[in-house]
């Protein structure tokens, strides 16, 4: 880790639940001092106190102008660019929660902005843990052919209408694409997009030449925890998460059998630090980001 950051310091932009998750995995990777950037000092101090985060301090946006530390960006997607534009060009690691930028904010110039940011930051990485969920569950997928793929994702979030899929599609689409790649399933060109957008529910149908994808999204889910499961043709696969003795465990449930799998978020952080000096790791992430944004843009404008 010394090659990344000799001082073991990191800056986290944001003070939401996802910021706490970033803090957890960065702590596991031996970072010791955390600076949180937010709109107000009082909000950051309240966040630090709420989660009892040690060696954590408030830092103003102005302090980013001469940044020489790893930065984790996990504020609201619509405002990612406010910080990405402000932070100077850097060779240090810049991690950003998905999606990198908002299709709704940038519309027709989203592609140019994505290319600009990957050029500006040599080690820019967008966090896609679903890549690792796909790699963990692929060995349990016994379907010889994949004709129909359905994904169900229900969360307790507060997004409404098309903000729902703008926020949740990155999880679903990256998982779908990576699992199909690992199963050697060629998608073929996209032929049809159909969507039904309600206040708290989104249903999206994507017809590729070689496969049909159905995505069912729901916010303000009334269940105890968020829910993610998928169906390949007639077989359903459930992702199950459990807190066992204070440790977050992940499982895949198929019919009456359940198998423990690796924590995809932990894998993403660990893998990023292991591949910090490999250009191909970042170029692959750029490819994923452009593919995801292109498809989201088509859905948004369909």
Digitized pLDDT (tens) for each residue of the chain, 302 residues in all: 444 545 579 999 999 999 999 999 999 998 989 999 998 999 999 999 999 999 999 999 988 988 788 999 999 999 999 999 999 998 899 999 999 999 999 999 999 999 999 999 999 999 999 999 999 999 999 888 899 999 999 999 999 999 999 999 999 999 999 999 999 999 999 999 999 999 999 999 999 999 999 999 999 999 888 999 999 999 999 999 988 877 789 999 999 899 999 999 999 999 999 999 999 999 999 999 999 999 999 999 99
Let me know: does 270 contact 29? Beta carbons within 8 Å. yes
Question: Which superfamily does 9-127+269-300 belong to?
Answer: NAD(P)-binding Rossmann-like Domain (3.40.50.720)
Q: What are the residue ranges of CATH 3.40.50.720 in the chain? A: 9-127+269-300
- Superfamily of the domain at 130-263: Dihydrodipicolinate Reductase; domain 2 (3.30.360.10)
Which residues belong to CATH 3.30.360.10 in the chain? Answer: 130-263
How many separate helices (H) and strands (E) can be counted in the chain?
9, 14
Which of 150, 169, 131 shows the shortest CA–CA distance to 229?
Answer: 150
Residue 133 has phi, psi (to 5 degrees) of: -65, -40
Q: Are 70 and 93 in contact (CB under 8 A)?
A: yes
| Coil, strand or helix at 231 | strand
């Amino acid at each position: 880790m010394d090659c990344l950051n000799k001082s073991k310091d990191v800056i986290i932009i944001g003070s939401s639940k996802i910021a706490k998750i970033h803090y957890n995995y960065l702590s596991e990777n031996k970072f010791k001092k955390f600076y949180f950037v937010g709109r107000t000092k009082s909000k950051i101090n309240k966040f630090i106190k709420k989660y009892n985060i040690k060696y954590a301090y408030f830092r103003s946006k102005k302090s980013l102008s001469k940044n020489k530390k790893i930065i984790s960006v996990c504020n609201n997607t619509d405002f990612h660019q406010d910080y990405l534009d402000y932070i100077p060009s850097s060779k240090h690691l810049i991690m950003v929660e998905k999606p990198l930028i908002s299709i709704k904010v940038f519309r027709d110039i989203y592609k140019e902005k994505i290319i600009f940011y990957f050029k500006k930051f040599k080690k820019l990485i967008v966090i896609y843990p679903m890549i690792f969920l796909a790699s963990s569950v692929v060995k349990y997928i016994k379907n010889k052919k994949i004709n129909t793929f359905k994904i169900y994702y229900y969360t307790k979030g507060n997004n409404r209408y098309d903000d729902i899929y703008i926020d949740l599609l990155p999880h679903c689409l990256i998982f779908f694409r990576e699992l199909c790649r690992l199963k050697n399933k060629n998608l073929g060109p996209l032929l049809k997009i159909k969507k039904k957008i309600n206040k708290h529910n989104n249903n999206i149908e994507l017809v590729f030449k070689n496969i049909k994808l159905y995505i069912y999204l729901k916010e303000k889910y009334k269940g105890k925890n968020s829910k993610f499961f998928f169906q390949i043709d007639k077989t359903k696969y459930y992702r199950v998460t459990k807190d066992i003795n204070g440790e977050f465990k992940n499982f895949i449930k198929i019919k009456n059998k359940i198998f423990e799998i690796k924590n995809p978020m932990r894998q993403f952080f660990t893998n990023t630090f292991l591949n910090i000096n490999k250009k191909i790791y970042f170029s692959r992430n750029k490819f994923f980001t452009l593919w995801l944004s292109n498809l989201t843009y088509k859905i948004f404008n369909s």
